[in-house]
Amino acid sequence: MVEDKRIVIENLTTRYPGTEQPQLRQINAEVHTGQVVGIIGNSHSGKSTLCRVLAGVIPKIVSAEIEGDWHMLGRRVSDGWRAYNAMTGVVLQNPAGQLSGLADTVADEIAFDLINQGMAEGLIQKRVVEVATQMGLIEQLNLRPESLSGGQIQRLAIATAIAANPAVLIMDDPTSEMDPLGRRQFFQWLAQVKETNVFIVTSEIDDLCEVGDVVWVLNEGQMVAQGRPGEVFNHLAADWQIPAPTIQQLAQKMDWHLADGRYPVNDAELKEARYVHN
């Protein structure tokens, strides 16, 4: 039997207690293994709520009514939360709140879940160095977590989320407090991630177009568009209030199209469009 490596969302509707209108309405989507899915939309479009549902925070921690269903890698999520949580890494909007608060050093914080899983000490030390290197935290390993800057705390939260090699990684605006260098390094790392399903809410449209495989656009709780970045950003509706990528805006001014008529949205496509017009 072929293993189902998809993530499938079917007619997902979510409503918080005390609210008349649902925060998510009839969401349907399908993702295949190893894809980076960018989730974008204006304020109150439902992005964070969708992340909380995908992460299991709703309804296990935050109360909400849920209709519909979703399957992770062939498993119906509601049938097995323990197994689901074991294969999921999560970084939500308050990264400091995700840290254990029990670790004396950054290294101890990264190792926290690995220790709880009973991993051998030598393997833990190796994994901590690997993850710290990926997140640019090698020089901070012996510092106390509370001494880090906001951007470094975000990187630490990501490090703790990926330490156990989750099959699914869910991140809600993980670069909001990073400086430009930190954001660039993060997206360079994200471009190298393989065999992990990544869901990322971000306002960094240009970076998303460089690394994203799929873009989901939410508007007033509905999925109004989904597809490859070039497809989505070439068909933006004005009322979605989403800016076009910088490269697309440049191409429009230069009137540079790709062979299929679309404007380029990332560097590789821009080079292709320039070749087409030379």
Q: Whose CA is closest to 71, among 133, 29, 131?
A: 29
Query: What CA–CA distance (Å, rounded) separates 183 from 179?
Result: 6
pLDDT value, residue 84: 63
pLDDT value, residue 80: 55
DSSP string, the chain: ------EEEEEEEEE-TT-SS-SEEEEEEEE-TT-EEEEE-STTSSHHHHHHHHHTHHHHTS--EEEEEEEETTEEGGG-HHHHHHTEEEE-S-GGGGS-S--SSHHHHHHHHHHHTT--HHHHHHHHHHHHHHTT-GGGTTS-GGGS-HHHHHHHHHHHHHTT--SEEEEESTTTT--HHHHHHHHHHHHH--S-EEEEE-S-HHHHHHH-SEEEEEETTEEEEEE-HHHHHTT--GGG--PPPHHHHHHHHHT---TTSPPP-SHHHHHHHHHHT-
Q: Which domains are present in the chain?
A: 1-87+167-240 (3.40.50.300), 100-165 (no CATH), 244-278 (no CATH)
Query: CB–CB of 215/233 below 8 Å?
Result: yes
pLDDT value, residue 112: 94
pLDDT value, residue 1: 41
* Per-residue confidence in pLDDT tens, the chain, 278 aa: 445 778 899 999 999 999 999 999 999 999 988 899 999 999 999 999 999 998 888 888 899 999 998 887 767 766 655 666 778 899 988 888 889 989 999 999 999 999 988 999 999 999 999 999 999 999 999 999 999 999 999 999 999 999 999 989 999 999 999 999 999 999 999 999 988 999 999 999 999 999 999 999 999 999 999 999 999 999 999 999 999 999 999 999 999 999 999 999 999 999 999 877 76
The count of other CB atoms within 10 Å of the CB of residue 197 is 25
pTM of the model: 0.93
Q: Please identify which residue in the block is written with the tokens 């914080």.
A: 109
Strands 36-40 and 214-219 turn out to be parallel
